[in-house]
Amino acid sequence: MHLGNIDFDKRELIIQSEKSHRMDSLIIPLDLFTGIVEFINCHAKEIEAAQGDYNEVHSEGQRRAIQEHRLRI
C-alpha cells in the first residue's frame, strides 16, 4: 500500500485498476482512519525513507506483528 493512495481530506482510499484503467475510491471508516493516522505519526521517519511504500517500511515479521495488533483492536 502506498500512502499516495489515501486522500486524507476526504478520508478515501483510491484504487486504480491497471487492467481496466478505472479509478475507484472507498470511504475509510473513522476508527480505521484514526488508526492509519496514528500509525503514520508513529512511523513517520520510516515511511519517509520508504517514500510512502508500506512494504518498504517494515520487515515481514514487523508486518505480521502489526497485523496481529490490528486483529486485537
Res 61: pLDDT: 61
- The answer to whether the beta carbons of residues 53 and 2 sit under 8 Å apart is yes
- The answer to whether the beta carbons of residues 31 and 44 sit under 8 Å apart is no
The domain tally of the chain equals 1
Give the structural domain span for 55.
3-72
Res 12: pLDDT: 92
Res 62: pLDDT: 61
Res 27: pLDDT: 93
- The answer to whether the beta carbons of residues 52 and 45 sit under 8 Å apart is no
Longest CA span, the chain: 36
- The answer to whether the beta carbons of residues 15 and 25 sit under 8 Å apart is yes
* pLDDT < 70 positions in the chain: 1, 51-73
